[in-house]
Structure 1
Amino acid sequence: MTPAPPHRVRLSGPVDAVVAGGGPAGAVAALVLARAGHRVQLLDDGGRAPPRAAPCGRPVFKIGEFLPPIARPLLSDLGLLDGFLDSGHPVSTGTYAAWGSATLHGRSHLFDPYGHGWHLDRLRFDALLRDAAVAAGAELRQATALDRLDDHLIVRERTTGAVVELSARWTVDATGRRCVIGRRHGHCRRQDRLVAAYVVFPDRCPAEPAARADAEARTLVEAAPSGWWYTTRIPAGRLVAHLTDADLADPSLRTPQGFWHALSRTVHVRCRLAGHGPAVTPVPCWAPAHGLRLTPTAGPGWVAAGDAALAFDPLSSQGILTALHTGARAGQTVADCLADGQRTSAALADYTAFLDGIAAAYRKNHAYAYDQEQRWPLSPFWDRRRAGGQPPPRIA
C-alpha cells in the first residue's frame, strides 16, 4: 500500500548550517558554529519543556548518564565548566566491578589528575548545552530530520507535523544511532547486537547512611553468563541496567517480574536494591547499545558526529565524552569549510583521521576489557566477543 503523502513541503530560507539532533554532540556543534559567526539551526525533537513525571508517575529519564573526569578540560575550553558545575550533578568517585571473577574490585578517582566524574541528569545536562548554543546565536527548531537531498534537509516540525525543506550549505548529522543523513552517503557497521534493558527505582530513603556514601557514589558493574549488569545512583533514583544481545535477551525481561527475577540472580547488584522488590519494579525500558561505525563519516556538505559517526559499548563509559569531543570537532570542521571552501577536502580528511584515532583506541580497549572475562566459555554472548567470534551483521 502506498503511504499517504506528507503535509505540503515548503521551503525555508537558507542558512550556513543545520545541525540535526539536540543531544550533546549536536548542541556542542551548534555552539561552536554559532560562536564562529555562522547562521545555524539546531534541530531538537525533544522540546525544551522541563523534566516532569510520566503519566504513570515514574520519573522521566534519559539513559547515558556518566561523564568521566577527563571531560573537565573540554568543558572548560567550551566555556561551559562553571555552568555545568553549578548544575549540581552528583559526584562519581569511581567504580566497583565483578569482572573476570566473582570478587568485587574497586577503582577510585581519588588520584585522577582531573578529579572526580559525574552521574549526569541527562535532561538537565542536554538542556544546558542547548541553552548555551542558543545563547551563542543558534536558532533552536523543534523538528526531526527525515532525509537530506543535495543541500536540502527534509524535516518534520514537532508542533504541527508539517514536513519542511530546509536549505543549508552544510549539515551536521547528530541523530544518534539512527544516523539519518550518514546512511544516505555511507554504510553503518554494527559492532554487535547489544541492547540495554533498564529500570529506575525511585528512592525510598533519600538519605543514605554515611558509611555507604562512597559506595553509593560509584557505579557497580557485574558480569553474568548472558551479559552484564550495572547500577548507579542518579538524581531520579537508582538505575539498574542489563546489557545483552538482542537475540539472546529473555522475553521475560520486558516485564517487571521477569526483570526482577533476573536481577535477583546477580550477586552484587542486588545488594544495592535493599528496600525494593518485584512489587515496586517499574516496567523495563529498552535502548540500543551496540557499537557502530559510519564510513565515510563526512563528505561534501555534511559531517556526522556523536553516535551517528561512532557509537560505543556502554562498558567503555566514553559515550558522552566522545559525543562532546566529536561535536566540537565537527562544528569546527564545518566552520573551517565555510570560511575557506578551498580547504574543504583537507578539513574533512583531518576530521576523518581524528575519528579513526578514537575508533582504533576504542577497539583495542574494548577487546582487552572483554578478554578479561573467561568464566563462561559456552556462553554465546561471551563467545561472540572473543577473537574469531560470530561477526555482527552489516547494515546499510
Structure 2
Amino acid sequence: MSTGAPPPGRSQGEPPARADVLVLGGGPAGASAAIALRRRGISALVVERAEGPGVGIGEHLAPPTLPLLARLGVLDGVLAGGHRRSAGVRSAWGEPALRDRDYIFCAEGEGFHLNRAAFDGMLLDVAEAAGARVIRGGDPPPLVRRGPSGWLARIGGDELRFSAVVDATGRAASFARAQGARRRAWDRLVGVSAFLAPRDAVELEDALWVEAVEGGWLYSAPLAGDRLVVTLFADTDALAAGGAAALAGALLAQSTHTAARVAPFSPAGEWHVRPACSEASDPIAGPGWLAVGDAATARDPLSSSGIAHALEDALDAASAIEAHLGGDLQSFSRYAEARRRAFDDYLSTRTRTYRMEPRFPGSPFWRRRWWASPEEAPVLLDPRARLRLAPRGLQRARSASPELPAGVEVEALCSAAERGAPAHAIVAAYRAAHPAGASDRAVIVAVQALLARGIFEAIG
C-alpha cells in the first residue's frame, strides 16, 4: 500500500493512482482516523477544509479518554502539550450547592483542559508523521462513484482512486448528506461561548464547573494564561429571543456560582454560537463510505464525551475499513450498527442525567429533556381542548421538529389545526390524511408539544 506521498504525473489514459482512503475533515475524528489507518498500513489522504480550528464549545478531556489516546499512540503528545491539568468537576446539579467529583478516584488519573488548537494540530502532525498526506485549507474534491472499485477524485492535478471515504466533516456531515443521509436532531441545544481574560491577577482553580439554572446550564473551565472559557447552554428559541449576548446575560443572572466565578474577568468581547444538540446521521455508512465523530452522531456537551467518541469512532472505522479492503462486505454495516447502539445508550444516559435536576418543573428547557425521545413523553393533552394554529405558527413550526415523534409531518399537522378544532378532531383529521404514518399517540404527543411551544394556541 502507498505511504500517502503524492503520486507522480501520468500520461493521458493511464489508470488513476490508488490511495486507499480519503478522509474529509481534519478535526479530532478525521485526524485520528488517518492515524489509525496508517497504523494498519492503509494509505490515507486527509483534506482539512478549515484554515484553523473553530471555537470549541467543550475544552475538557475527562480521564476515561486517556486510554483511547494511548491506543491511538498520541497520549505522550497530550501529556507534553502544555494543556492545563484538571483535578475534577464541581457541579450544582439537582441542588443549589456545588459538589465535588475529584479525579483522584478515577483509575485513569487526572483530566485536562485542552488548548483545542494545539490538540487538533498535534493530531494532524502525528497523522502526517505516520505517512498520511494532509491537505490543509483545501475544499473537498468532487467525487465520482466507480462501482465496487471505489471513488475517483482529482486532487492537485492528479486523478486518484479511493477504496473508501471517511466523512469527518462534523455536524455538517456534508459527504453523508450528499449520499442521501438525513440528520435527525433530538433537541435544539445551542452553546454560547466566550473566552475571558482576568482584569488582575486571579487564583483560578483547576476544576471544571457545571451549574444548572432555570433556563439551561452553564459550563466554565480554566485555560492557559489564567483565561476562563464559559459556555451557556439553552435552546435555540431562547437564543432567537434576544441574541447571544442577551442570552448569556440572562443565564448568568440566574446563576450563583458561575456569576461569581466570572466576576473577576473582563466582559466578553465576543460570544461564539455553536450548535450543541444531540443528532445523528441516517444512515451512518453506505457503499464505500462511513461517517465518524459528529458526522455520525453528535452529543450534548454535558456528556463530556465528544473527543472520546471521536477517538472510538476513528479506531473502529479503521478496523472496519481494513476488513472492507480484505473483502468483508458487511464491515461497514456492523460499524454503523455499533454507532447506533452506542448513541441509543447515550440518549438513555442523557435523559437520566437531566432528570437528576428537579428544581425547575415549570421550565420548558428541562421538561423537553425528561424523556429520551419525544415518543416517550406522557400524554397530558385534554382531547376536548379547542386549539388552533397561532399567528405565524407555521413559520416557527419547522424548528419544532426535534420535539416531535418521528414520522409526524409538522406542516401537515399545522394545516389540520389552521381553522381551529378540538384536539381529538385535529388528530383525527391528520390521521385520516396520513393513515400509514405515525400512530395516534405520536400525533397527540406532537400536538401537545406544539401547544407548549406556542405554535398552537387554546381558544375558548
TM-score by structure 1 length?
A: 0.83
Q: Give the letter aligned to residue 333 of structure 1.
A: A
Amino acid at match of 2:192: A
How far apart in 1 are the matches of 2:154 and 2:105?
Answer: 47
C-alpha deviation, 1:148, in angstroms: 4.7
Q: For 1:220, what is the secondary structure of its paired residue?
A: strand
Q: Do the aligned partners of residues 309 and 147 (structure 1) sit closer, same or farther apart at CA in structure 2, a change above 3 Å counting? A: farther
Which amino acid is the alignment partner of residue 227 of structure 1? G
Deviates more, 1:351-360 or 1:105-114: 351-360
1:34 maps onto 2:38 in alignment: yes
Question: Which residue pairs with 2:81 in the alignment?
Answer: 87
Cα deviation 1:347-386 (Å, max 9, x = unaligned): 2233123213321321121010011112222221111112
**1:57 corresponding residue in structure 2:** none
- Measure how far apart 1:47 and its partner are: 3.4
Is 1:133 aligned to residue 127 of structure 2? Answer: yes
Question: 1:196 aligned to 2:191?
Answer: yes
Once the two structures are superposed, what CA deviation does each residue of 1:177-209 show, in whole Å capped at 9, x if it has no partner?
00011122322211111111111102344562x
Alignment of 1:59-74 (within 5 A): 61-74=55-68
Q: CA contact under 8 A between 2:90 and 2:99: conserved in structure 1?
A: yes
Q: Residue 187 of structure 1 aligns to which amino acid in structure 2?
A: R
Question: Would you say 1:219 and 2:192 are equivalent positions?
Answer: no
- 1:368 maps to 352
Is 1:355–2:345 an aligned residue pair? no
The count of corresponding residues between Structure 1 and Structure 2 is: 358
Pair 1:117 & 2:107 matched:
no
Contact kept, 8 Å, 2:45 with 2:133, in 1: the verdict is: yes
Quote how far apart the aligned CAs of 1:84 are.
1.6
1:225: Cα distance to partner? 1.4
Matches within 5 A, 1:138-287: 138-142=132-136, 143-145=138-140, 148-150=143-145, 151-152=150-151, 167-183=161-177, 184-205=179-200, 208=203, 216-235=205-224, 237-249=227-239, 251-255=241-245, 259-260=248-249, 262-276=251-265, 280-287=267-274
RMSD (CA atoms): 2.7
Q: Give yes or no for contact 1:147–1:181 (8 Å, CA) kept in 2.
A: no
Three-state SS of the structure 1 residue aligned to 2:20 is strand
| CA shift digits 1:261-304 (9 cap, x unpaired) | 54243111011123235xx3212110010111122211211010
Query: Given the superposition, is the C-alpha separation of residues 276 and 202 from structure 1 closer, same or farther in structure 2, using an over 3 Å criterion?
Result: closer
SS at match of 2:83: coil
Query: 1:154 deviation in Å?
Result: 6.8
Structure 1 unpaired stretches of 5+:
1-10, 52-59
What CA distance in whole angstroms lies between the structure 2 residues aligned with 1:112 and 1:240? 25
Percent identical among aligned pairs is 34
How far did 1:252 drift?
A: 3.7
Q: Does 2:8 align with 1:24?
A: no
1:5 corresponds to: none
Cα distance in 1 between the residues matched to 2:322 and 2:18: 16
Pick which of 101-110 and 171-180 moved more.
101-110
1:344 equivalent in alignment to 2:329: yes
The alpha-carbon distance between structure 1 residues 252 and 73, as it changes in their structure 2 partners (threshold 3 A), is same
Q: Tell me how far 1:254 sits from its aligned partner.
A: 2.6
Give the counterpart of 2:319 among 307, 323, 332: 332
Return the index of the structure with the highest Cα Rg.
Answer: 2
Matched AA of 1:287: R
Matched, 1:290 2:277: yes
Deviates further, 358-367 or 137-146: 137-146
Task: Give the structure with the higher percent helix.
Answer: 2
In the superposition, relative to structure 1, how do residues 105 and 148 fare at CA in structure 2: closer, same or farther (>3 Å)?
A: farther
Tell me if structure 1 keeps the 8 A contact 2:216–2:251.
no
- Matching residue's letter, 1:265: Q
Partner of 2:402: 392
Query: One-letter code of the match for 1:273?
Result: V
Say if 1:166 and 1:80 are closer, same or farther in 2 by CA, change over 3 A. Answer: same
Give 1:7's aligned residue: none
Task: Give yes or no for contact 1:145–1:153 (8 Å, CA) kept in 2.
Answer: no
One-letter identity of the residue aligned with 1:222? E
**Aligned partner letter, 1:144:** D
Distance verdict in 2 for CA 1:352–1:61, change over 3 Å: closer
- In the alignment, which of 38, 48, 51 is matched to residue 47 of structure 1? 51
1:198/1:286 contact within 8 Å kept: yes
Q: Is the 8 A contact 1:190 1:291 kept in 2?
A: yes
